[in-house]
Structure 1
Amino acid sequence: MIFKQLIELIRKEMLVLIRDRQTILLLFLMPVALIFFMSLALEGVWEDKLTGRKIPMVVDNQSRSPQAGLLAGKIKAHPLIVPMEKPAGADNDRLFVDGTAQAVVMIPPGFEEGDRPVEIFFDPVMDASYRIAARSLVTSIVVEVVMGVDNLEAMAAGLVVERTGPNRELPTPLQQTVPAYAIFAMFFIAVPMSVGFLREKKDGTLQRLFTYPVSANLVTLGKITPYFLINVVQFVLMMLVGVFVMSHFITPAFFAGQRPWHMLPVTLVAAAATTGFGVLVAATAKTPEQSSTLAAMVAILMGVFGGIMVPHAVMPPVMKKLAMISPMFWAHQAYLDIFLRDAAFGTIAPKLIILTLFAGICFYIAGRKVRWI
C-alpha cells in the first residue's frame, strides 16, 4: 500500500515537471549550451597554459642584405611563429587592431654592420609571458646569425634539461565544463522544486493531498525522489553529450580517467546535495517568485566561488580558499580527481563526506522550517 502511494506521488511530480517546458529547457538545454560555448572560450586558456600558442608575426626586412635575409628566414621558419604578410600601406597599429599579427620584427638598414638594432613591436594587449617568449626567441636567433652559430638551442641542449611532471591540475576544456555545468544545472533543480511546492501549498493541492491517509514523510519522499532521479539523468546526459558530441567540435576529446566508475558515487552524493538545497529553498521561501530568485541567485554565487565559471587552477590564492565554501567546489573537484589524477576512492571520500554533510544540514533545516499547510 505504502509503495503504491509512493509510486503515485512520484508519478504526479513527474507529470508536473514534464508539462513545464521552461523547466526542461532550464535543466537540460542550458547546461548543453554552457558546455559548448564555455569550452570554446576555455580552449585558448588551456592552449596557453599547457600546449603553447603560436605567435602570428610580421617580419619586415628593410635591409635586404644576405645576413638580414638569413635572419628573416630563420624567424619565419621557427615552429612557434606563424609568419604573416604586411599589407601595403598598413602600419603596426593597424596590424594589431585587425588581428593580423601580435608582433612585428623590423630588420633595419645597417643591421649587418651593427649600426642599428633589430626592433620588435608588440600588440599592447598581448600576454606578458608571450612577449617575453617572443623577445627571447628573436634574441637567440639574432645571436645565431651575428655569431655564425648554426643552432644555439641545440648547443645548449646538453646544458639545460627540462623535467616536466604530468598535468594533474589544469583540466582540458571539456573536463572542466562538462562536470562543472552539469553540477551547475543540477543545483538549478531548486527552482522547479521550490516553485512547485509553494504553488501546491498556495492553491490547496497539498491540503487536499493530506485528506488521504498518507504521512508527511511519504509525501516528502514522493516529492524529492523525482528531482533526485532527474539530477542523476542530467549528469549522465551531459557526460554523453561531452563524450560523443562535444568532442567532435572541441579539442582535445573528453577523457574520463582510468577509474570512470568512481563517478557513480560522486553523482549520487552530488544529486543528494542538490536535492537537499532545493528542499531548503522550498522550506524557507515565502512565495514562488521569491524561491526562484533565491535559488537562482545562490546557485550562481556558488558557481562563481566554486570554480565552475572560472577554473579553480587559474584562480588567485584568496579565491581558491573562498571556493571551499561552495558545495559545487567539492563536487567538481571530486570529478577532476577522477579525470585528472586517477584518484582512488579513498581520495575522493572526504569530498563525498562534505557533500553528504551539506545535504544532511539542508534536509535538517528544511524539516524544522517546513509548513505543509
Structure 2
Amino acid sequence: MALVCLDDFRAYAKRHLPKGTWDYFEGGADECATRDDNILAFKRIRLRPRVLKNVSTVDTRTTIQGTEISCPVSIAPTGFHCLAWPDGETSMARGAEAQGVCYVTSMYSTSSLTDIVAAAPSGLRWFQLYMHKDRQLVTELVREVEALGFRVLVLTVDTPVGGKRRADLRNSFGLPAHLSLQIIPEARQVGAGHQLPIADIDPSVCWEDVSWLRSLTRLPIVLKGILTREDAEQAVGRGVQGILVSNHGGRQLDGVLATVGGPRPGGLGEPWPGTFGRFLPAGARAHTHTHTHTFIHSLVFIERLLCAEHCTMCLGSTSRQHIETVQQRAHTRTHNRARTRLCTQSLLANPWPWSCPVSALPWPLFRPCPCPCPVPISTPG
C-alpha cells in the first residue's frame, strides 16, 4: 500500500522500528498532555472558506530570512535520525533540498556536518544549537557552521534540563553500539545504552548568553522554545531575528500551552504588540494543519519526521498540493504570501517595532469564542 501522508509513515514506522526507538520518537514528557494537545488543538479551529474567487494561478513560494522556499513548510531540528534510517540526517537534507525547503540540522545529529553538506550542497540549511557548558565548544561549532554555509543559528532555549520522558526511562533508552553523535566531540562515545549528552547543556543559560552569542556571529539568530509574549519581547530586545514558537513537541515541560489554539488571555492566539516574525514547529501532521498555521504564524516547521528522504519529499509535495486545493476554495493566496513576507522580510528590513505590524491587517485572524467549540479563522473577503 502506498504511503501518501505523514500518518501513513508513522504507522509504518511503528510496525518496523524497535520499541525503544519508536517510543523515543513518539514520546512526550510525563503524561504527554502537551504532546497530545499539540494535535488536538487543531480540532478547535475551523476555516471559513470564500468561494468564486479567481485562483487560476496559484503560487506557494515564499521567503524565509530573505531566501526563497517552495512553500511555507520546512523541517525542524530533530536528533538521532540514523536510528530510523541508515542515511540519517543526510537523507533528510537531500529530501529538503529536492523539495526546496529549509532543513534545520540538530546539534545531536548522527551524521557529520560535512556529510550533511555534501549530501545537499545547494540546500537551505540552518543549524540548531544548545548552549553547552563548554563555551569554547560553542564558539568552535559556530565557526564551523559559518564556514560550511549554514544560514541561521537556531538556539534552543527551553531545555536547561532534560524533560522526564517516562517511556525512555522505562526502556533505558540510549544510542546503540553502532551509532554515535557526530557533532559534539564529548558525545562521540559508543556502547549500548550509553548516556545521552543532555547533562552537557548548561542549566545556568540566561538572556546574557543570548547577547554573548549575538556578539559571536553575524549569522541571524532564531530562538526556539518561546511560548510567551514577555519572552518574545525579551528576544527582540536582545537583537535576535525571529522565534520558533515551540513547546519542544511536548517533550520538555508537560502541561504548557499547545503552540496553536484559540484565543485566551495572554495566549498565543493574540497578536503580541508590534508582532515580529514567528515560526511554529509543533503539532502539524496533516495537510490542513500547514494551511492553518500560515494564518497564525509565518511558516511551519515540521517535527517528528522519521528521517526518510521519501517522507520529506511526500511532505513537501502533498503539502503544496493541499495548500493549492484549499486556496482554490478559500482565496488565501494573497493573504498567505503578504503575511509570510511581512513576518520574514520585515524582520531584516525594519527595526522594532514594525512599521506595519500584523495587528494592523484589515481582517481578524481569530474570532473569539467564549465556549470550547471550534474557533473559526477568518479569511480576507
With the length of structure 2 as denominator, give the TM-score of the two structures: 0.22
Structure that is richer in helix per residue: 1
Structure with the higher strand share, 1 or 2? 2
Is the radius of gyration larger for structure 1 or structure 2? 1
Highest RCO, 1 vs 2 (Cα 8 Å, sep ≥ 6): 2
